[in-house]
Structure formats: C-alpha cells, structure tokens
Amino acid sequence: MTPDEAVAAATPGRTVLIAGPTASGKSALALRIAARTGGPVVNADALQVYGHWRVLTARPSAADEAAWPHRLYGHVGREAPYSAGHWLRDVAPLLDAAPVIVGGTGLYLTALTEGLAHVPEVPGEVRARGDALLRDEGLGAMAAALDAETAAGIDLDNPARVQRAWEVLQATGRGLARWQAETGPPLLPPTAALCLVIAAPAEDLTPRIAARFDAMLAAGALDEVRAALPDLDPARPGDRAIGAAELAAYLRGEVPLDVARDRAVIATRQYAKRQRSWFRSRMKDWQKVDLSNS
C-alpha cells in the first residue's frame, strides 16, 4: 500500500504499529496517522529512549514533540540499562490510549505482539564482566561463548543482542533461547492493531541514509557527540548511537571529517540491512507500505 492508503486504513481507537528501517520515513508517517486516529506517538527504538541523543538518533524534533503527544523518547539516563522487558513495562500503560507505536527495533515490536520471556535480572557484576569481555576480546569472542541454540537465533553482528544473550547465559546457566521458549502471551496480539512495515529496498534507502546523515551534521550532530565524548563508552548500550564512534574519531583527530562521515553512512546502511532482514523474517504478515511512494 502507499503511505496515503496506510493513513486511510488507520481508524480512531485502534492501535497502529509501524516498523521500518532507519531513514525510511516512519516518524513522518506516524505523525500523519496519529493526527487521524488521535493517539499519542510512542517510541519503539532502542536508542531514541536515551536522553543524550536527539540529533544522532533522528528523534522527533522538539517542535514535533510539542505539537503532538510523544511518549518514551529520551526518558532514559545514559548509564541506565534498558531492554525489551523495560520497554514492555513502560509501554503497557500507554496501550489504552490507542497509540501509534513506531520504531526500528524489531525486538520491541515482536515482543509486544508475540510475547517476551521473563528472564531473571542480570547482576551488575555479570554485566561488568560482559563489558570487559566485549572491550578486551571483541564481539567474536563473546559470540563464541554462547550456546548453539541461542547463537543460531540472534544477530551475531549486533553487540547489544550478543551481550544480552551472553549475560543471561552467565547469570542463569541457561541459554536465552531456552528462556524464550517459555514465552507468555503478548500484551498486544497483532490482530488487535493495524500492523504496518515499511518496505525499503536498498536502492531507495541508500540515498536517503546519506542525505539524512548530512542533515544530522548540519543540525549539530558533532556538538552532540562532543558533549558526550569525555565519557563515551562503546560498550555501554546508551552510547551505541550509529555515527557516535565515527564522529568521535574525527573529534579526537584520528580521521578527517569526510572519512568519519562516510564510515557512519556505511555503518547506517549495514544496520538498515539487518533491520530489513528482521522484518522479512518476523513480520511476514504485516501490511507493507511502499517507500517508493513516499
């Protein structure tokens, strides 16, 4: 369907879910649909929850947030742990308002519509060991330590997912896949919502990613990274905004700005590819909105 058809399909009183890769225009579509349905716009992006990133994570502008109710944007402190379970607890009381839930973190949206295993809390000591392992030995070493069942079912290129699985295994002695097999009922069955996923082929998305990153630079992304630089820690989930490490390298004098910019664009394209893979495998029954018509 086209974006116009997606807006027309939304009805007041019914929750709308919008999944889409980065730079696909999902936030603009969410605002259009919210204006029709009357519900608040609710964030389902794992990095837009952090308060210290606005520009670099393409959070809605302050003007957009003032013009329409937005929830779960920038409400988490930089050093606070935040998982899909935290997000489900935060989003649960908002469901009665028939929100428009929008984001690129597929795990949040599938946890909402398919359920999420109740995994015990990971002790801080285990998390610290995970941070040290990731920092000192790298993602490959951490992934190699996972149980085979869990490793087969997660994105092994995603540091946050790999570290979460490693921490659960270390803390509980059971692989994350075993816990997920005991998943309870979902908060929001997909039949109770209009479920939309933006179809964004690479040929359409690639120029949008480059243009958006250039717009981020013009809007102050360097200043945002400069403010975070003294305590920037790539092992901390709150500091993993795409482009942060690349722009930090420029600010430290390690690379020219054009090199940092190109590396950030490439990293964003790689992230979008992983998002599209998740959506294709986990959201086959969601209605597709054609990016080329936006």
- Cα–Cα distance between 180 and 28 in angstroms, integer? 33
What kind and span of H or E run contains 289? strand 287-290
Domains, the chain: 3-116+187-201+285-293 (3.40.50.300), 124-180 (1.10.20.140), 202-274 (1.10.287.890)
Closest CA to 285 of 104, 19, 41, 11: 19
Strand pairing report for 70-71 and 41-43: parallel
pTM over 0.75: yes
User: Lowest-pLDDT range, 114-118, 128-132, 159-163?
Assistant: 114-118
Tally the residues of the chain: 294
In one letter, which amino acid is 228?
A
Percentage with pLDDT > 90 across the chain = 75
Q: What is the mean pLDDT of the chain?
A: 92
pLDDT of residue 244: 95
What kind and span of H or E run contains 211? helix 202-219
Residue 135, both tokens: 């920092």
For 10, residues 6+ apart whose C-beta sits below 8 A from its C-beta are 16, 33, 36, 37, 100, 194
- pLDDT tens-place string over residues 263-283: 999 999 999 999 999 899 889
In the chain the beta strands, taken as DSSP E runs, fall at 15-19, 41-43, 70-71, 100-103, 193-199, 287-290
The answer, yes or no, to whether residue 292 has pLDDT greater than 80, is: no
Q: How many CB atoms lie within 10 A of CB 260?
A: 22
User: Lowest-pLDDT range, 119-123, 128-132, 270-274?
Assistant: 119-123
User: Lowest-pLDDT range, 34-38, 125-129, 182-186?
Assistant: 182-186
- Cα–Cα distance between 177 and 181 in angstroms, integer? 6
- pLDDT tens-place string over residues 33-83: 999 999 999 999 999 999 999 999 999 998 999 999 999 999 999 888 888
What value does the mean pLDDT take over residues 245-258?
96
